[in-house]
Amino acid sequence: MYTQNVTIHNEVGLHARPATFFIQKANEFKSGIWVEKDERRVNAKSLLGVLSLGIVQGSTITLLADGIDEKEAVDALCELANNGFGE
């Protein structure tokens, strides 16, 4: 299992459009990937799950992955978040 924390910096947080980019990136990997916020954990490949966390600007989330490409998956999702989800 590989884990990393990332803070969301984009102005509107992880709303529908950036969440879609996030899920598309997560689905490029074979590993199981989860997002944790405030002790709630959801599947990072589920749009409804990710949106249900209510991730706003300044939120720190934990990305967890388990599988053959776990490090690559978490690193790619952290990079996407750090780049503001292309916004």
Mind telling me the catalytic residues? 15
User: What backbone phi and psi angles, to 5 degrees, belong to 16?
Assistant: -55, -50
Strand 32-37 versus strand 40-43 pairing type: antiparallel
Between CA 55 and CA 33, with CA 28 as vertex, the angle to 5 degrees is 50
**Amino acid code (one letter) for 54:** G
Is the dihedral angle over the CA atoms 50, 53, 59, 62 positive or is it negative? negative
